[in-house]
Amino acid sequence: MAVRKDYVREDTPLDDPAMPLRSQFEPVHMKVKNGIEIGFKLALGFWLFSVIFWAILAAVFTWAGVNVPFFPRFG
């Protein structure tokens, strides 16, 4: 299913109610694919943030000499 480009001009301003937005003509499988990509990027970003956060917290607690059983001991 192709996007109908004859209905959507490239120079259409976003606030022009007479011309529909390009996303209205986007096929459903592309919307699903874009949603999956966004979800994957969000999950990857959250995981990366979590790893960095816990590593910094473990390093600070180790440096401060706090004995937290589930943190690894560095050095």
Under a CB-based contact definition with an 8 Å cutoff, are residues 72 and 55 in contact?
no
Asked if residue 39 is part of any domain, the answer here is yes
Q: What is the DSSP letter of 29?
A: H
Under a CB-based contact definition with an 8 Å cutoff, are residues 20 and 7 in contact?
yes
Q: Give the number of domains in the chain.
A: 1
With 0.85 as the threshold, say if the pTM is over it: no
Query: Which residues, 6 or more positions from 8, have their beta carbon under 8 angstroms from its beta carbon?
Result: 19, 20, 21, 22, 25
Which structural domain, as residue segments, surrounds residue 42?
22-64
Asked if residue 34 is part of any domain, the answer here is yes
- In the numeric block, the tokens 């943030």 are attached to 49
Asked if residue 36 is part of any domain, the answer here is yes
17-72 residue pLDDT tens: 666 666 667 788 888 898 899 999 999 999 999 999 988 988 888 888 877 776 66
